[in-house]
Amino acid sequence: MDIAHSQVDKIFEYSCPDNLQVGSRVKVPFGGKFINGRFAGEKVVDGFVIGVSEKSAFPPEKIKPIKEVFDEAPALVTECFSLMERISSRYRVPKAAALRLFLPSEMRLGKVREAFKKYAKVRDISAVIPKNAKKQREVMDFLQTVDEYDYTALCNKFGAGAVNALAEKGALEIEKRQIQRKPFGGEIAEESAKTLTYAQVNAIDSIENSEKTVHLIHGVTGSGKTEIYLQLIAREIARGRTAIFLVPEISLTPQMLSQLRARFKGEAAILHSGLSAGEKFDEWWRLRSGEAKIAIGARSAIFAPLENLGVIIIDEEHDSSYVSETAPRYSTQEIAQLRAEYNGCKLVLGSATPSVESYGNAAEGRFNLITLTERINKKPLPEIIISDMRKEVKRGNNTAFSLALREELDKTLKSGNQAIIFLNRRGYSQTVICRDCGYVARCENCDVSLTYHSEENCLKCHYCGARYKMLTACPDCGGVHVRYGGTGTQRVVADLNALFPDAGIIRMDNDTVSGKDGHYKILHKFAQKQADILVGTQMIAKGHDFPAVTLVGILDADMSLHFSDYRSGERTFQLITQVSGRSGRAGEAGKVVLQTYCPENYILRYAVNYDYLGFFKNEMQVRKATLFPPYSLICRVMVTSENDALALETLKAVYFAAEELKKNYPDEFIFLNRMHSPIKKIQKKHRYQVLMRLKSYKLLKQLYDIAVKNTSNNCLVYIEENPANLS
């Protein structure tokens, strides 16, 4: 039953036509009462066929027949049912909610039925038509002049009665055909596989010969990981198997899409948010029908309806977009691993900056590790220069740019190259920093930085809820340039315009990007060299290949260091590496200027030297010493409701249950408390949380139980594991 409710999360039996296949979508009568030999008060609902059997334990008269079978072919692949059970028990969601993941929402809601069209044509010209059936005669005459005609249009023209009567006696043939929307108009350029470098050949050999299921490619930016992925896919296709290729949504740039289409043509189906509902639907059916064998897309493409998978690839595996923000809050990597095990296929993760969890798995031998240390053609990685912004302030420079960055910008523009200016606006406005000495306000209990809350004019720790007074002077140096809030992209552009009046500058952030292809347009303009400097936030950090960019300026490298998040060190390292990777990819060697208030910070040191391993070892030590993941589990139980009193009451119940657990397993708990969520209300819903840090995953199942038990119609309780965002 396609009803995601725990009370009807069961299997129901119906009688069915002989040829019904498992995986089909159906309409069935549901509910109602059995009175006097017939049912009354029933509704018709959607459901999935999850099994067909000859016998039933119910008496035949109590079994209702299926009303309608939707698709010619079953929509769900058999694998779904095995995954359904595992997803439903792992993330504690109704089975129907787990199954829904495997169907695009466009399809479930029946919005794009017009994907099928009916056509009418004459079959038997000698069919007998009664004298008084004038309309029928007209239809026959008309059809002989046009050969074939849209069934709906024909009915509108002559009346459905006449058309259907003709069809019934076999005079007409009505054919149902799928209409294919072509999301990718225009010619597809030819592109053939590149001759692999020695390192790439080794990587592929290692993946093919390893017994392990999961493979991690740790390769510096520009080391040719993409080519490895494409050739791994091509090999599996040649073996008659299929493939899934996942990238962060933001990396599905026009460049990337055209490269993929050029390589795989119709064999690839691309599922991304830029497609219309109808296009998505068609691409999905091309995969389901076996016409396309490669699914390419963001997170949700992991549920692509492919059978016989040969390889699953997750590019930029560290990216936080791989964790779903809505229920079920699945981890893409976990689902990918389940599918890989089911299909006996390989799962390949790739990144220049793997998450410490993944690298830890590789270092300890659970994953097969492949390391690529050089860029293709041995192009050097760009040199990273550090600008100490404390000195700039002392020198009286109050602009957003250090002297060094200004000089480098000047050189770049004079030589006709392009520059990218990156600023880290997210979180910036809420961190409190002393501009004289670089001091950052941190929590005494948790050793993460504090977040400024303007409505209460105080500082808060997102991990324990502690509150601190807003600072007026720096406790370290006594300076009064204590600031929160940073430079916005707008102000940076204004400063740049003043410094370089002749330069063409474009800005890319949430304010300038509108519409589904807004950011493609801006990037395209920059790629065409219609501007010299691109100013942007996180959006410009990933995946883009601009050959003329030889300078990257990172205005506030350390700001993400102070996010109130245990992963902020990791995030900062990733960000610097990714952004720097945009510089000097072709032709001339690139440079990066990194501005910071704390140049001595070890994370920056590792990043400047491209020392991932050093960073990793250090980070693991810190996590171990402070008991943060992967050495613990952070679990947030969210309680949200429009009714504040109900939310509070539920929060108490959840907290009470968690306390009971703590009594039974005192050693498992590092921290347990309840509080308002940092953002107290979203879309009219009041938000509270029970926050805990646990030594292991041992109690997770019981915590899910608590969440399910306390959820009611008007109050939602859900679990977040190691949430990327504690707002």
Is residue 227 involved in binding ligand ADP (CB under 6 A)? yes
Nearest CA to 589 among 417, 426, 361, 365?
Answer: 417
- Peptide bond before 630: cis, by omega within 30 degrees of 0? yes
Residues 526-555 that bind ligand ADP (CB under 6 A): 545
Token pair 């995601």 is found at 4
Is residue 464 involved in binding Zn ion (CB under 5 A)? yes
Contact flags string 155-194 toward ligand ADP, x per CB under 6 A: ---------------------------------------x
Shortest separation between residue 660's beta carbon and Zn ion, angstroms: 24
Nearest CA to 451 among 566, 554, 604, 565?
Answer: 565
CB atoms within 10 A of CB 478: 10
Q: DSSP letter string over 282-307?
A: HHHHHHHTTS--EEEESGGGGG---S
Is residue 474 involved in binding Zn ion (CB under 5 A)? no
464 binds, among ligand ADP, Zn ion, none (CB under 5 to 8 A by kind): Zn ion
219 binds, among Zn ion, ligand ADP, none (CB under 5 to 8 A by kind): ligand ADP
Closer CB to Zn ion, 280 or 674, in the complex: 674
In angstroms, the CA 301 to CA 304 distance is 5
Is residue 441 involved in binding Zn ion (CB under 5 A)? no
Q: Which stretch binds Zn ion (CB under 5 A): 201-209, 287-295, 418-426, 435-443?
A: 435-443
Closer CB to ligand ADP, 226 or 489, in the complex: 226
Token pair 């050999």 is found at 205
194 binds, among ligand ADP, Zn ion, none (CB under 5 to 8 A by kind): ligand ADP
Give the CA-trace dihedral at 641, 642, 645, 651, to 10 degrees: 10
174 binds, among Zn ion, ligand ADP, none (CB under 5 to 8 A by kind): none
Q: Which stretch binds ligand ADP (CB under 6 A): 14-22, 220-228, 636-644, 703-711?
A: 220-228
Is residue 446 involved in binding Zn ion (CB under 5 A)? yes
Nearest CA to 692 among 664, 654, 727?
Answer: 654
Closer CB to ligand ADP, 104 or 224, in the complex: 224
- Residues touching Zn ion, count (CB under 5 A): 7
In angstroms, the CA 705 to CA 325 distance is 20
Shortest separation between residue 249's beta carbon and ligand ADP, angstroms: 17
In angstroms, the CA 371 to CA 207 distance is 12
Q: Which stretch binds ligand ADP (CB under 6 A): 74-82, 214-222, 356-364, 514-522?
A: 214-222
Q: State which of residues 224, 465, 488, 569 lies at the interface with ligand ADP (CB under 6 A).
A: 224
- Peptide bond before 248: cis, by omega within 30 degrees of 0? no
In angstroms, the CA 693 to CA 5 distance is 30
How far does the chain reach from its first CA to its final CA, in angstroms? 35
461 binds, among ligand ADP, Zn ion, none (CB under 5 to 8 A by kind): Zn ion
The token duo for 638 is 């969210």
In angstroms, the CA 86 to CA 108 distance is 22
Closer CB to ligand ADP, 381 or 715, in the complex: 381
Residue 645's DSSP bridge partners are: none
The token duo for 614 is 């050093």
Token pair 């990066």 is found at 592
Is residue 467 involved in binding Zn ion (CB under 5 A)? no
Closer CB to Zn ion, 468 or 631, in the complex: 468
Report the relative pairing of strands 309-315 and 38-40 from DSSP bridges.
Answer: unpaired
Is residue 466 involved in binding Zn ion (CB under 5 A)? yes
| Residue type present at position 194 | K
Closer CB to ligand ADP, 193 or 682, in the complex: 193
224 binds, among ligand ADP, Zn ion, none (CB under 5 to 8 A by kind): ligand ADP
In angstroms, the CA 697 to CA 482 distance is 41
The continuous run of DSSP H or E covering 451 comes out as strand 451-453
Shortest separation between residue 417's beta carbon and ligand ADP, angstroms: 17
Q: Which stretch binds Zn ion (CB under 5 A): 186-194, 289-297, 443-451, 486-494?
A: 443-451
Report the relative pairing of strands 418-422 and 68-69 from DSSP bridges.
Answer: unpaired
Show the CA angle centred on residue 72, arms to residues 69 and 77, nearest 5°: 90
Is residue 461 involved in binding Zn ion (CB under 5 A)? yes
Residue 583 and residue 621 in contact, taking contact as beta carbons nearer than 8 Å:
no
Residue 357 and residue 337 in contact, taking contact as beta carbons nearer than 8 Å:
no
Give the CA-trace dihedral at 30, 36, 41, 47, to 10 degrees: 10
Strand order in the sheet with 533-536: 383-388, 591-596, 549-554, 418-422, 533-536, 505-508
Residues 366-395 that bind ligand ADP (CB under 6 A): 376
Shortest separation between residue 107's beta carbon and ligand ADP, angstroms: 33
In angstroms, the CA 382 to CA 419 distance is 13
Closer CB to ligand ADP, 200 or 430, in the complex: 200
Contact flags string 459-498 toward ligand ADP, x per CB under 6 A: ----------------------------------------
Is residue 305 involved in binding ligand ADP (CB under 6 A)? no
CA 445, chain centre distance (Å): 33
Describe the crossing of helices 151-158 and 160-168 by its angle, rounded to 10 degrees.
120
Residues 609-638 that bind ligand ADP (CB under 6 A): none
171 binds, among Zn ion, ligand ADP, none (CB under 5 to 8 A by kind): none
Q: State which of residues 223, 564, 574, 596 lies at the interface with ligand ADP (CB under 6 A).
A: 223
Contact flags string 590-609 toward Zn ion, x per CB under 5 A: --------------------
225 binds, among Zn ion, ligand ADP, none (CB under 5 to 8 A by kind): ligand ADP
Closer CB to Zn ion, 45 or 466, in the complex: 466
Q: Which stretch binds Zn ion (CB under 5 A): 408-416, 455-463, 539-547, 567-575?
A: 455-463
Q: State which of residues 136, 221, 449, 710 lies at the interface with ligand ADP (CB under 6 A).
A: 221
636 binds, among ligand ADP, Zn ion, none (CB under 5 to 8 A by kind): none
Q: State which of residues 24, 226, 343, 368 lies at the interface with ligand ADP (CB under 6 A).
A: 226
Contact flags string 189-208 toward ligand ADP, x per CB under 6 A: -----xxxx--x--------
443 binds, among Zn ion, ligand ADP, none (CB under 5 to 8 A by kind): Zn ion
Buried b (16+ CB within 10 A) or exposed e, 48-74: bbbeeeeeeeeeeeeebebeebebeeb
The token duo for 24 is 């089909």
Residues that bind ligand ADP (CB under 6 A): 194-197, 200, 219, 221-227, 376, 545
Residues that bind Zn ion (CB under 5 A): 443, 445-446, 461, 463-464, 466
